[in-house]
Structure 1
Amino acid sequence: MCNLYRMTASVDEMKQLFGSFAGERANLAPREEIFPKYAAPVLRRDVDGLALEEMEWGFPGPKAAGGRPVTNVRNLASPFWRSALANPERRCLVPVTRFSEWSQEPDPATGRKVKHWFGLAARGEGDRDAPFAFAGLWRPGEERSYYAFLTCPPNAMVGAVHPKAMPVMLDPRDYDRWLHGSTEEACALARPYPDDKMTQFA
């Protein structure tokens, strides 16, 4: 389960990837570590395309489960997510530059689990930490909006660290299908990202 990621891309870098969007600002403060319940930038559907909005990470959880925020969408058939998945207006893109998974076993030297960071493989000089997007869902609230993102079985790279799941990373060619497609088309995108397009940072 991914409960930590980073978003350090500038507005210009986001525009190169996502195109123009409403709610644009001069720049965004880099977010080195985004944890559940933190606010972070999200791109949701708007009348004219996309709109940038700061939302809180984690849907308010069911009271029966203690009300803890639900950050990862694991079971796509769950009634908890069904209505949001079926409504394209509740799908969103979550901009990311890296995400982290914790080691399964603690480091023998420190006794602590180790953070492993993952992101896109560099395509050229200076291409480190290129932004990408998780497949997200969002919902409005009384004071703020909330978001979560989908997970899927891991690829070999992430699975070597965290064998249960990895976030659903979208190829830019699939943004439109995620934001506008049918429920079946959207759910079909919940698949591991290719290993050869990713890197693990030391």
Structure 2
Amino acid sequence: MANRRDNPITRWRMARPRQHHVLLWWSDPSGREVRWNFPLPVRGKVLSSAVELDSNSNSYAADYEGNHYLVFCFNSREAARYFRDRWQGQFIDTDEVNRKGVWTPREGNVCNLYRMLSNQDAIRSITRAMIDSTGNMEPITEFWPDYRAPIVRNTPSGRELAYVRWGLPSSSQAIFQAATKRADGLRKKNKPVDFQELLKMEPDGGTTNVRNVESKHWKRWHGVEFRCVVPFTSFAEPDPANKPEGGRTPNAWFAADPSHPLMFFAGIWVPQWESVRKVKEGLTVNDLFGFLTTEPNGVVEPVHQKAMPAILANSDEIETWLTAPWEEARQLQRPLREDQLILVPTEKDAA
């Protein structure tokens, strides 16, 4: 008789109480030969090291876009962090993998608000943008998802400072799942369903930031022609630890130093994408952008344990991101050094 622990649904339920989940890419079985992340001897070390770090840890399988992953679940945050760093994994939320073992990456839940208090002359100077299509830059101090924001992007005509809508196209899998759910709801009401039309008109509010850059969905935009940098002077993360009783969760703000100098996120932009951003708009065609995220550094992690934006530290890194081959440029998806970022004091702190 099979052990109930071998049942994938049981494993999934058992894993949930362990709140620290680390995901590792394990293999790609889609080709003629299976492509493995680790050679055979190392695979055994990966599995045994999880138990050595936390004797109560367990793991389960997850699949996404034809790739096979393992999710390791820990009671201890310290053990999970050590395991993640050793094997170059990533933290995921406990509900990103469903009962059927399908991983739906939760992109876009990091840094959904930032400020840009600098000016277009400074942006052009640092990024060497030769074209400026922003006109007189609008005096907007805070930027939110699905609104236009200034970026510097590579174009066939040269490097351009332009306003672009924030929120990259979501994956076809996410759109398909949303349309399927909508179709199921209509069928329950005995209403006719044209699934292809539902799929075409399924609203996609966009993905504000990208973590899993090796996903098939994002690989099509690895080229330099789709690279951009996003100027900012500070960015926000929700700060639930300082939420007042009965009040809203405040934001913690991060900047390079108290003067809030100009900095840049490493970004991707997509030209002329047709989609339904909002139901009231219908099908529209937009240039879109988002930026990369990575593991949090020691400044951000006490507030937001999952991730932080990938920040370019200087003009050399900006040039590398905008011009280098992907294998070199992707190395910039890493936490900013702790001495290059501060937690901005609040009025409460000042008091």
Q: Under a length normalisation based on structure 1, what TM-score does the superposition of the two structures give?
A: 0.89
Give 1:42's match in structure 2, choosing from 134, 151, 155: 151
Q: How does 1:34-183 map to 2 (within 5 A)?
A: 34-47=143-156, 49-61=158-170, 62=172, 63-66=175-178, 67-85=204-222, 87-105=223-241, 107-122=243-258, 128-141=259-272, 143-171=285-313, 172-183=315-326
Are 1:4 and 1:33, in contact at CA under 8 Å, matched by a contact in 2? Answer: yes
SS at match of 1:188: helix
Kept in 2, the 8 Å contact 1:7–1:30? The answer is no
Question: Does the residue aligned with 1:144 lie in a helix, a strand or coil?
Answer: strand
Larger radius of gyration: 2
4+ aligned runs moved over 3 Å, structure 1: 24-27, 46-49, 108-111
SS at match of 1:60: coil
Q: 1 CA distance for matches of 2:155 and 2:205?
A: 29
Report 1 or 2 for greater relative contact order, CA contacts < 8 Å, sequence distance ≥ 6.
Answer: 1
Q: Which amino acid aligns with 2:235?
A: F
Aligned equivalents of 1:151 and 1:7: distance in 2? 18
Q: CA deviation at 1:26?
A: 5.5
Equivalent-residue separation in structure 1 for 2:242 and 2:139 (angstroms): 29
Equivalent in the alignment of 1:29: 138
- Deviations along 1:96-141, whole A, 9 cap, x unmatched? 111100014452344321101111125xxxxx12111100000012
User: 1:95 & 1:191 partners in 2: Cα distance?
Assistant: 18
* Offset of residue 162 of structure 1: 0.3
Query: Are residues 1:187 and 2:323 paired?
Result: no
The whole-number CA distance in structure 1 between the counterparts of 2:330 and 2:298 is 21
1:10 and 1:27 in contact (8 A); partners too: no
Q: CA deviation at 1:49?
A: 4.1
Q: Given the superposition, is the C-alpha separation of residues 65 and 34 from structure 1 closer, same or farther in structure 2, using an over 3 Å criterion?
A: farther
More helix by share: 2
Q: CA RMSD in A?
A: 1.9
Amino acid at match of 1:176: E
* Cα distance change of structure 1 residues 23 and 12 upon mapping to structure 2, 3 Å threshold: closer
Instruction: Kindly state the Cα deviation for residue 24 of structure 1 after the two structures are TM-superposed.
Output: 5.1
Letter in 1 for 2:253: W
Partner of 1:125: none
Number of positions where the alignment pairs a residue of Structure 1 with one of Structure 2: 196
2:143–2:149 contact (8 Å) kept in structure 1: yes
Deviation of 1:90 after TM superposition, in Å, equals: 0.3
How far does residue 65 in structure 1 lie from its aligned partner after superposition?
Answer: 4.9
Structure 1 residues without counterparts, runs of 5 or longer: 123-127
Against the structure 1 CA distance between its residues 7 and 111, is the aligned structure 2 distance closer, same or farther, given a 3 Å change threshold? same
